[in-house]
Amino acid sequence: MESIKWTKAYVAPTYSRTEITIEKGEGYVVFDDTGKRYLDFTAGIGVNSLGYQHPEWVAATQNQLSQLQHISNLYYTHPSAQLAQKLCTRTGMANVLFVNSGAEANEVAIKVARKYGHQKHPDKHKILTLNNSFHGRTVTTLSATGQDVFHKYFDPFTKGFDYVQTNDIADLLDKVDDTVCAIMIEMVQGEGGVIPLETEFIEAVSTASIQHDCLLIIDEVQTGIGRTGKLYAYEHYNLKPDIVTSAKGLGNGLPIGAALLGEKVKDVLEPGDHGSTFGGNPVVSAGANVVLDTLTDEFLDQVTKKGDQLKAQLLAVEGVQSVSGLGLMIGVTFDSYTAKEVVEQAKDAGILFLTAKEKLRLLPPLIIDEQAIEEAVSCINHIMNTKVGVS
Ligand X SMILES: *Cc1c(COP(=O)(O)O)cnc(C)c1O
Question: Cβ closer to ligand X: 135 or 306?
Answer: 135
Per-position b or e across 28-57, b if 16+ CB within 10 A of its CB: bbbeeeeeeebbbbbbbebbbbbbbebeeb
Q: Which is nearer to ligand X, 29 or 50 (CB)?
A: 50
Return the residue of 204, 247, 286, 368 that touches ligand X, per CB under 6 A.
247
Report the residue closest to ligand X, judged by CB: 102
For the CB of residue 190, give the shortest distance to ligand X in the complex, in Å: 4
Who contacts 197 (Cβ-Cβ below 8 Å, separation ≥6)? 166, 167, 185, 186, 187, 188, 189
Candidate segments 53-61, 99-107, 289-297, 318-326, binder of ligand X by CB under 6 A: 99-107
In terms of Cβ atoms closer than 10 Å to its own Cβ (0-12, 13-18, 19+), residue 376 is buried
Q: Map residues 190-219 to x or -, x wherever contact with ligand X holds by CB under 6 A.
A: xx---------------------------x
Cα–Cα distance measured from residue 250 to residue 105, given in angstroms and rounded to the nearest whole number? 12
Stretch of 185-193, 233-241, 270-278, 279-287 contacting ligand X, by CB under 6 A: 185-193
Q: Which of the 8 DSSP states describes residue 227?
A: T
The residue within the footprint of ligand X, chosen from 42, 80, 101, 381 (CB under 6 A), is 101
Q: How many Å apart are CA 242 and CA 180, to the nearest integer?
A: 14
Q: Which stretch binds ligand X (CB under 6 A): 7-15, 102-110, 111-119, 230-238?
A: 102-110
Using CB under 6 A, count the residues that bind ligand X: 15
Task: Centre a 10 Å sphere on the Cβ of residue 95 and count the other Cβ atoms it contains.
Answer: 17
Burial 234-268 (b: 16+ CB within 10 A, else e): bbbeebebbbbbbbbbbbbbbbbbbbbbbebbbeb
Residue choice 124, 135, 236, 306 for contact with ligand X (CB under 6 A): 135
DSSP per residue, 334-390: ESS--HHHHHHHHHHHTEE-EEETTEEEE---TT--HHHHHHHHHHHHHHHHHHHHH
Nearer to ligand X, 330 or 380 (CB): 330
Q: Report, in Å, the least distance between residue 35 CB and ligand X.
A: 30
Question: Could you say whether residue 241 binds ligand X (CB under 6 A)?
Answer: no
> Which residues does residue 331 pair with via DSSP β-bridges, in sequence order?
324, 361
Among 80, 91, 209, 222, binds ligand X (CB under 6 A): 222
Please report how the helices 78-91 and 282-294 are oriented relative to each other, as an axis angle in degrees rounded to 10.
30
CB nearer to ligand X: give 207 or 276.
276
Quick note: the x/- pattern for ligand X over 279-318, rule CB under 6 A, is ----------------------------------------
- Is residue 131 within 8 Å of residue 191, measured between CB atoms? no
- Smaller CB distance to ligand X: residue 167 or 222? 222
Which one of 87, 103, 204, 265 is in contact with ligand X (CB under 6 A)?
A: 103
CB of 77 to ligand X, least distance (A): 22
Please tell me whether residue 362 binds ligand X under the rule CB under 6 A: no
Question: What is the C-alpha to C-alpha distance for residues 299 and 45, in angstroms, rounded to an integer?
Answer: 20
Q: Which of 60, 130, 221, 286 binds ligand X (CB under 6 A)?
A: 221
Q: Please state, as a whole number, how many other Cβ atoms lie within 10 Å of the Cβ of residue 361.
A: 26
Residues that bind ligand X in the complex, under the rule CB under 6 A: 101-103, 106, 134-136, 186, 190-191, 219, 221-222, 247-248
